[in-house]
Amino acid sequence: MAAQPHGLIATFETAPEVYHAAEKVRDAGYKFWDCITPFPIHGLDKAMGVKRSNVPKFSLTGGIIGFCTGMSMIWFMNAFDYPLVVGGKPYFSPMFAFPVSYELTILFCAFATIGGMFFLNRLPMHYHPVLKHDTIHRGMDDQFFIVIETRDPKFDAARTRALLEKAGGKDIKELEA
169 touches 9 (CB < 8 A): no
C-alpha torsion 160→166→167→169, nearest 10: 80
For residues 95 and 41, state if they share a domain. no
What was the pLDDT predicted at 3?
74
Domain boundary among 82, 104, 120: 120
Structural domain range at position 17: 7-52+128-175
pLDDT attached to residue 144: 96
Q: Indicate if 80 and 96 belong to the same structural domain.
A: yes
> What was the pLDDT predicted at 100?
95
User: Are residues 25 and 81 located together in one domain of the fold?
Assistant: no
pLDDT averaged over 10-residue windows placed end to end, the chain, 177 residues? 82 95 96 95 95 96 98 93 87 90 98 97 89 89 94 93 94 89
- Same structural domain for residues 44 and 91? no
63 and 107 together in one domain: yes
Domain-ending residue, one of 99, 120, 141: 120
Residue 9 pLDDT: 94
Q: Give me the pLDDT at residue 2, please.
A: 62
Give the CATH number of the domain where residue 12 resides. Answer: 3.30.70
Residues 6+ apart with CB under 8 A from 176: 3, 5, 6, 129, 132
* SS3 of the chain: helix, strand, coil, percent, to 5: 50, 10, 35
Domain's final residue, options 120, 144, 159: 120
pLDDT score at 49: 94
Q: Which pLDDT belongs to residue 40?
A: 95
pTM summary value:
0.79
CA angle 169, 146, 137 (to 5 degrees): 100
Q: Are residues 88 and 112 in the same domain?
A: yes
